[in-house]
Structure 1
Amino acid sequence: MNDLARGAAVPDLAPQELRILVAVEEEQGFTAAAARLGTTQSAVSHAVRGCERKLGAVLFDRGRHGARPTEAGARAVAYARRILRLLGAMGPEVRAAGLADGAGEVAGTLRIAAFRSVAAHLLPPVLAALAARHPRLTAQVRIVREVGRGTAGEVADGRADLGLATLDAGGPPAVPGLVAVRLFEESYALVHPDGHPAPRGLPLVDWDENCGSYTRSWWDRQDWIPPATIDVEDDTVAVSLVSQGLGMAIMPRTALLGAPAGLAVTDLGPQPPSRYVGYVTTPELAGTAAVRALIRELRSAPLPEGLAAA
């Protein structure tokens, strides 16, 4: 058993080594990573081998396909992104703390991952308020489908500073190690063509993000819901298909905001399924000025009609 396997301290990786790991993973090869970083392929290869020796694990599978991260490599790259993000935040944070009042202007870039409906209906007023209060803070918003690890995975892997995510009632975040805070609860409703006499008898239009653990137990108890006749990837497409008379759908309230004309929304009874929507971030980024500023705006923003604060 070597020293690393016995739990000995791992030699530090330099910031440039971290940048190389990220570049190799994103470019899927040593040559492309070298071109991106302005160095040579041999220098990148040497650096990756050095990282593997220090960490005691093979980080990339090499082959004709290029370089693909192993499970250990994916973990290492996620940590590398998060560490590099903190290094980037350190300068502005320290300068702000060094001012007389300790409240310098928040500047830089804030990376947000959000699923489509909450990005469309919750984020615009939040970002408008953030821009008015902190004009030198730039927001980058990426739309991420809320399936699998979803927006929480983007945060855990270092691709986003904060994610707007669906949260299970009372449970931990979908990805361990993150800070998760609820913002609001939204119920599900039946959407169908307006004026239809028996909407529950219509074919079902469903979409991939629809049935999480928060709705599954309710869904399983409903003997009137047929198998889906149409499955789509996007909730807006599902709503559009329903508006064309192709069936009914069971949707969360945010997905129905701004729905086209010709639709009716019917409650699902006294105890409809619901889900919580909130934000996730890492413990270390939760204390940075940019993320704190965004959280303040998220918590103070008025909710769209039909949503209840958590």
Structure 2
Amino acid sequence: MGQLSDSNLKISQLRSFVAVAQSGNFTVASLDLGLSQSTVSHAIATLEEELGVVLMSRGRHGATLTAIGQEILVDAQHILQLLDSMHQKANRDRGLESGQVRIAAVRSVATHLLPKVIARFRQTFPNITVTITEHPVYTVVEQALSEGQADIGFTILPTTHNLDVWETFRDEFVVLLPPESLTNDAPLTWEHLSNLPMITTPSAPPHRHTRVITEHLEQFGQQLKVAYEVQQDSTVISMVQQGLGAAIMARLAAEPIPPDIQVRSLPVPLERVMAIALPADMLLSRATFAFLNVLKAVFQDMQLMDVPTQRSPGVVSSQRS
């Protein structure tokens, strides 16, 4: 019992180990898990350190289990199977065999973050329906929550509606430059930025990002030299790639960024604060509560957030903006 009580083994370490062992490749495993390769590598390295053995040998052609690694793989798979069985039994007892979770989000969140969460959620709650409604701007996401059209939303702080929110992660605004705009890793200066024709999304309400960027630049005596104003992020990216100008975008909104586009931080960095939002004082359904717990686990694996601990199906520790 002493060894068990002193153990620092984590489920995320076992998931990473099993995924790499099954695929034989760190890159494939990281894609399957929705994690960065460095996060998966670190998880296995810390697992090996905790156990005091080498579980796999790494090489240019992938990862190969050692003899002890093959033995421990069986145990790790068994532990994960037992964990899944525990969740299934608990779900049945809590009446989580059906239900619905309604999510409101903008495209970048729906594309790059939610699929990882939903995939993990369905492993444990296959009979709960998850619906995603994509909205063009964050104010519409907040309105959907306030009007009871969604159970969970993703927005940016500060909010424009009365919602229960908590910060999840920070997303940097980056400058996207046409190919070969700068040499090597040369930093971007205010002088260079002030001379670039800029491609922006609309600045009029309900759009917020261009106004935030403009206000940030004005603090340092800078102005955007707007050459084009377009609606869609994807159009901005294509125009930058064709050399029609530069753009300043939140990194998550810009992904996937074509490899020939140059990416630089602003001379004085700027970030947006992403948050999970719920209708104020709402009692969570069991299905919504379960989804939030899975979301918390996935985002922590991705090292994006530290969501406050949920106390009961109807209570959320929150930060009112």
- For the superposition of Structure 1 and Structure 2, which TM-score range results when normalised by the shorter chain? 0.5 to 0.7
**Number of aligned pairs?**
204
Equivalent position amino acid for 2:254 in 1: L
Q: Name the residue aligned to 1:281.
A: 278
Please show how residues 1-310 of structure 1 align to structure 2 within 5 Å: 103-146=94-137, 149-168=139-158, 173-176=159-162, 178-197=163-182, 200=193, 201-208=195-202, 209=207, 211=209, 215=213, 217-269=215-267, 271-283=268-280, 285-302=282-299, 309=305
CA distance in 1, matches of 2:126, 2:292: 16
Identity of aligned residues (%): 24
Q: CA deviation at 1:262?
A: 1.7
Contact persistence 1:186–1:308 (CA under 8 A): no
Structure 1 unmatched ranges of 5 or more: 1-98
CA distance in 1, matches of 2:167, 2:125: 24
Q: 1:260 to 1:113 in 2, by over 3 A?
A: same
CA distance in 1, matches of 2:273, 2:160: 13
Normalising by structure 1, we get a TM-score of 0.59
Contact persistence 1:109–1:138 (CA under 8 A): yes
Normalising by structure 2, we get a TM-score of 0.57
Q: CA deviation at 1:267?
A: 1.1
After superposition, the C-alpha distances for 1:44-65 in whole angstroms (9 at most, x for unaligned) are xxxxxxxxxxxxxxxxxxxxxx
Q: CA deviation at 1:212?
A: 6.5
Q: 1:191 to 1:179 in 2, by over 3 A?
A: same
Contact persistence 1:152–1:174 (CA under 8 A): yes
CA distance in 2, matches of 1:153, 1:117: 18
Q: 1:224 to 1:283 in 2, by over 3 A?
A: closer
After superposition, the C-alpha distances for 1:274-301 in whole angstroms (9 at most, x for unaligned) are 1111111124545221221221222222
* RMSD over equivalenced CA pairs, Å: 2.8
CA distance in 1, matches of 2:274, 2:134: 15
Equivalent position amino acid for 1:291 in 2: T
CA distance in 1, matches of 2:160, 2:211: 11
Q: Name the residue aligned to 1:50.
A: none
